[in-house]
């Protein structure tokens, strides 16, 4: 076991490396894609474009999720909470990889604004982590609830023929529900109304911007 104590500078360099990996390197999933191999139905051009835009938003959301978890892990005072955040980030990497692969299949790019979403989400996560374990876990509970609602909305908007994107969103939804329930079981406390409202507003801005950019 490595008992080395890392300085703040070392840890910040490590976070920069993680950010570069999320933003610039291909994501690798630990689980097979729920879409499975092949099986693509022919999509009309308008359907392909709509699916691509929705999956780009989902990919941007996963970029933000990586940053939120890493930011909280950096400032968490409880080592158990910090390790839990890192484990959650690793699990969410599957979602990032699945969305990225689906965008490639649809002939689309990721959001041009991903660096902004990563930086902003990392800062929010770091602030949440500094408030202590229960507040940090409560932030995860609320985030996952909002993401679940967001994914249900996207599923309803996907073209009926896009079964591959639908399968990915279904599995992502199940995972987000599980993550939120786990954080709640560990003692996550409800967030004040104003913070929840601010989170919804921020999510709305990210969603609408990433849909186009």
Q: What percent of the chain has pLDDT over 70?
A: 92
Q: Which of 105, 129, 11 lies closest to 55, judged by CA?
A: 105
CA 78 to chain centre: 22
How far from 205 is each of 22, 57, 82, 149, 208, CA to CA, in Å? 21, 11, 28, 15, 5
CA 193 to chain centre: 22
Identify the helix (H) or strand (E) that includes residue 110: none
* CATH number of the domain to which 108 belongs: 1.20.1260.10
Domain of residue 149 covers 43-212
- The single residue listed with the structure tokens 């079981």 is 185
User: Which tokens in the block code for residue 140?
Assistant: 């995860």
Give dist(CA 24, CA 70) in Å, integer. 17
Domain contains 173: yes
pLDDT exceeds cutoff 90 at 42: no
pLDDT exceeds cutoff 50 at 1: no
Domain contains 175: yes
Domain contains 10: no
Domain contains 185: yes
Domain contains 18: no
Q: What confidence tens digit (pLDDT) does each residue in 197-209 have?
A: 777 888 888 888 9
Give yes or no for a contact between 148 and 180, defined as CB atoms under 8 angstroms apart. yes
pLDDT exceeds cutoff 60 at 3: no
Give dist(CA 142, CA 150) in Å, integer. 12
How many structural domains is the chain composed of? 1
Domain contains 31: no
Domain contains 15: no
Q: What confidence tens digit (pLDDT) does each residue in 54-84 have?
A: 999 999 988 988 888 888 877 777 777 777 7
Give dist(CA 213, CA 211) in Å, integer. 6
Domain contains 4: no
What's the mean per-residue pLDDT of the chain?
A: 82
Res 113: pLDDT: 92
């Amino acid at each position: 076991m490595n008992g080395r104590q890392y300085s703040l500078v070392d840890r910040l360099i490590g976070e920069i490396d993680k950010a570069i990996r999320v933003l610039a390197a291909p994501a690798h999933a630990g689980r097979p894609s729920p879409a499975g191999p092949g099986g693509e139905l022919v999509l009309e051009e308008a359907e392909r474009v709509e699916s691509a835009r929705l999956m780009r938003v989902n990919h941007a959301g996963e970029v933000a999720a990586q940053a939120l978890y890493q930011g909280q892990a950096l400032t968490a005072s409880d080592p158990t909470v910090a390790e839990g955040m890192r484990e959650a980030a690793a699990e969410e990497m599957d979602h990032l990889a699945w969305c990225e692969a689906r965008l490639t299949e649809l002939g689309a790019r990721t959001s041009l604004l991903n660096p902004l979403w990563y930086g902003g989400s990392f800062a929010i996560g770091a602030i949440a982590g500094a408030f202590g374990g229960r507040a940090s876990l409560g932030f995860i509970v609320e985030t996952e609830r909002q993401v679940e609602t967001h994914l249900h909305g996207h599923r309803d908007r996907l073209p009926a023929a896009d079964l591959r994107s639908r399968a990915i969103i279904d599995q992502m939804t199940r995972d987000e529900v599980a993550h939120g329930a786990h954080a709640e079981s560990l003692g996550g406390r409800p967030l004040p109304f104003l913070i929840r409202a601010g989170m919804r507003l921020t999510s709305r801005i990210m969603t609408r911007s990433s849909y186009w950019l």
